[in-house]
C-alpha cells in the first residue's frame, strides 16, 4: 500500500494576489493535485509547479457545479494515493468556505490535513473600500452572516471576541444577553497560530474560571457557539510532531535550503537568522590550471558543489578527474549538477573525510571550499602523505547583528532549539546573543561543529549525522 498523502485546506484570500500568504504560496508550489474554486484569482495559481493535476471545483450560479460530496471524494482519493493535495478556496476556508465540512470528511477518512488560513473578504473588501469594520466609538461588535440562508447551531451564529481576556466574565454575560445559554460551548485561544498557542474549552458558564485556572493571558480570542464542539474532531495543529516548538536556523540561505519548510510542515515555528552569507568569488585565471592538474576534486560543502559549474566553465578541463564528497547529501548536490561522486566519505565533516581517505585515492587533491574554513582538511591529508591543496571559491561573510526586536523576543521568550550548521555560526551567534538565550538546546551538524559550539558555551543536546533538512528533523525528534 502506498504512503498516505496529505491535504492542505488553503485560503487564497479575497482576490488580490498580494494578500495570498507566503505559506499558502509555498504549499501550492509543492502540490501534486490542486482542487480550486471559481473565486480563486488565477494569478495566484501561477505559483503551482508544472505537471500538477488541476481539478475545477467551482460552483457557478445556475451553471456548472461540482457537488460537495464529489469534492470530498477527490480530496480523499488522491491523498490515499500518497499525493500532496491542495484545496484552494477563495477567502478563508473556515469562513463560509465549507472548509469545516471538508475537514470533517478528511477526519472521518483518517486523512491527515492542515489548514492554511487566508484573508477573509468580509474584512478585506471593506478595507479596500476605505471602510473599517470596527472603529472605536462607532462599532465595537462584529458578526458574520451568510445571506438569508444562515444555518448552524440553535442560534445560527457565532460570537468572536477580540481583546476580551481582562473582561472575560463581562463578555460572557453579554453573550447570555444576546441569547446564548449558559451551556453554549465556548473557547479561548491564546496566541493563536504561534508556537505558544494555548486553547481552553468550556461553556459560557465556566470558561472564565477555566481560563483563570489555565493562566490565560492576552493576546487571545474568545469564541462562543456550537462550532466550538467541532474542535474535538478537527483539531490538527497540536497533532504535528513539532507543534509548540520554536526553532532558530542560523545557517546561510544557501546552506539551509529547504530546512525551514520541512520543519514547518511538522509543526515548528521557524526563525531563520543567518549568521553568514555565501558570496561567490569571481573565477580566477589560475583556477583552471589548478583544476586541470588535480586528480581529485573534493567537496565538503553544498555551496562549493552548487557553484562548481560556474567555477569550471569548460567541462573538458576535468578530463580523468575524480570527485569526492563528504556524506550522501553532499554527493546528492553534486549529482544535481550532473556529477556522480567516485567516493563518498564518512560524514558529516571534513575531519571524518580526511581520516577515512582511502589509500587507493592517489594523486593530487584539490579541496574546493569557503573562506570560513581553516585548512585543517588539507593539513590532515598532507600528514598522510597526500598532495593536497585548498582552493577558496566563495566567501562566508558574517552577519554582525540581529534586529533588536528579534533579540528582545529571544531573550524574553527564548526558543526550543537553535541549529548550527558550522562552527563559525555558533561563534557568531554567541557574539550577537551573548546572554539571555543560554538555555536553548543546540543541534549541531557534525562533531566538529559540536566541539566549536561547546567551546563558546552552548549546550549541545543533539548532533545531526547528515547536513540536510531530514537530518535536522530526525535529530530533533530523537532528542525531543
Catalytic site positions: 37, 59, 163
Strands 185-190 and 198-203: antiparallel
CA–CA separation, 63 and 132 (whole Å): 34
User: Which of 330, 341, 334, 292 has its CA nearest to residue 309?
Assistant: 334
**The residue to which cell 463560509 is assigned:** 96
Retrieve residue 421's grid coordinates.
550548521
| Packing angle of the helix pair 302-312, 285-293 (nearest 10 deg) | 100
Collapse the DSSP code of 298 into the 3-class scheme (helix H, G, I; strand E, B; otherwise coil) and give the result.
strand
Q: Based on the number of CB atoms within 10 Å of its own CB, is 440 exposed (0-12), middle (13-18) or buried (19 or more)?
A: buried
HSE at residue 197, side-chain half, CA atoms within 13 A, is 19
Question: How remote is the C-alpha of 48 from its chain's centroid?
Answer: 18
Sign of dihedral through CA atoms 71, 72, 73, 79?
positive
**What separation in angstroms does the CA of 332 have from each of 16, 23, 311?**
39, 27, 19
> Which residues lie closer than 8 Å to 438 by C-beta, 6 or more apart?
457, 458, 459
CA angle 386, 387, 392 (to 5 degrees): 120
Contacts of range 15-22, beta carbons closer than 8 Å, 24 or more positions apart: 15/39, 15/41, 15/90, 15/121, 16/41, 16/124, 16/128, 17/41, 17/43, 17/44, 19/118, 19/119, 19/124, 20/44, 20/118, 21/116, 21/117, 21/118, 21/119
Q: Which residues contact 350 (CB under 8 A, 6 or more apart)?
A: 300, 326, 373, 376, 377, 448
**CB of 329 closer than 8 Å to CB of 449:** no
- Grid coordinates belonging to 232: 474535538
- CB count within 10 Å of CB 326 equals 27
Amino acid at each position: 500500500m502506498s504512503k498516505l498523502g496529505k491535504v492542505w485546506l488553503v485560503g487564497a484570500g479575497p482576490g488580490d494576489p498580494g494578500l495570498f500568504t507566503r505559506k499558502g504560496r509555498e504549499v501550492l508550489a509543492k502540490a501534486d493535485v490542486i482542487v480550486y474554486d471559481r473565486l480563486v484569482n488565477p494569478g495566484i495559481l501561477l505559483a503551482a509547479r508544472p505537471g500538477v493535476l488541476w481539478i475545477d471545483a467551482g460552483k457557478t450560479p445556475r451553471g456548472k457545479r461540482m457537488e460537495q460530496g464529489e469534492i470530498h471524494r477527490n480530496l480523499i482519493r488522491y491523498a490515499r494515493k500518497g499525493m500532496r493535495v491542495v484545496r484552494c478556496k477563495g477567502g478563508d476556508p473556515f469562513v463560509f468556505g465549507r472548509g469545516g465540512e471538508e475537514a470533517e470528511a478528511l477526519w472521518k477518512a483518517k486523512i491527515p490535513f492542515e489548514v492554511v488560513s487566508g484573508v477573509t473578504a468580509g474584512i478585506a473588501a471593506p478595507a479596500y473600500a476605505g471602510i473599517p469594520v470596527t472603529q472605536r466609538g462607532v462599532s465595537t461588535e462584529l458578526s458574520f452572516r451568510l445571506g438569508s440562508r444562515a444555518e448552524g447551531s440553535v442560534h445560527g451564529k457565532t460570537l468572536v471576541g477580540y481583546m476580551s481576556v481582562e473582561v472575560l466574565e463581562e463578555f460572557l454575560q453579554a453573550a447570555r444577553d444576546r441569547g446564548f445559554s449558559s451551556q453554549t460551548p465556548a473557547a479561548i485561544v491564546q496566541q493563536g497560530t504561534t508556537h505558544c498557542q494555548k486553547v481552553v474549552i468550556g461553556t459560557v458558564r465556566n470558561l472564565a474560571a477555566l481560563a483563570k485556572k489555565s493562566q490565560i493571558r492576552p493576546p487571545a480570542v474568545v469564541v462562543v457557539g456550537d462550532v466550538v464542539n467541532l474542535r474535538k474532531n478537527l483539531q490538527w495543529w497540536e497533532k504535528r510532531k513539532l507543534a509548540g516548538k520554536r526553532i532558530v536556523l542560523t545557517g546561510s540561505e544557501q546552506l539551509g535550503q529547504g530546512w525551514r519548510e520541512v520543519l514547518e510542515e511538522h509543526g515548528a515555528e521557524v526563525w531563520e537568522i543567518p549568521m553568514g552569507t555565501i558570496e561567490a568569488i569571481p573565477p580566477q585565471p589560475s583556477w583552471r590550471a589548478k583544476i586541470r592538474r588535480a586528480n581529485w576534486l573534493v567537496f565538503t560543502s553544498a555551496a562549493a558543489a552548487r557553484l562548481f559549474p560556474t567555477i569550471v566553465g569548460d567541462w573538458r578541463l576535468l578530463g580523468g578527474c575524480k570527485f569526492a564528497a563528504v556524506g550522501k547529501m553532499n554527493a546528492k548536490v553534486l549529482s544535481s549538477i550532473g556529477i556522480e561522486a567516485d567516493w563518498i566519505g564518512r560524514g558529516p565533516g571534513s575531519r571524518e573525510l580526511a581520516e577515512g581517505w582511502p589509500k587507493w585515492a592517489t594523486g593530487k587533491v584539490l579541496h574546493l571550499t569557503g573562506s570560513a574554513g581553516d585548512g585543517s582538511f588539507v593539513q590532515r591529508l598532507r600528514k598522510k602523505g597526500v598532495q593536497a591543496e585548498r582552493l577558496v571559491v566563495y566567501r562566508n561573510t558574517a552577519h554582525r547583528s540581529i534586529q533588536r526586536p528579534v533579540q528582545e523576543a529571544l531573550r524574553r521568550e527564548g526558543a526550543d532549539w537553535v541549529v548550527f550548521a558550522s562552527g563559525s555560526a555558533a561563534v557568531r551567534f554567541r557574539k550577537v546573543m551573548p546572554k539571555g538565550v543560554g538555555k536553548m538546546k543546540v543541534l549541531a551538524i557534525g562533531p566538529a561543529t559540536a566541539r566549536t559550539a561547546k567551546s563558546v558555551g552552548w549546550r549541545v543536546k543533539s548532533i545531526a549525522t547528515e547536513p540536510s533538512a531530514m537530518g535536522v528533523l530526525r535529530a530533533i525528534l530523537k532528542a525531543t
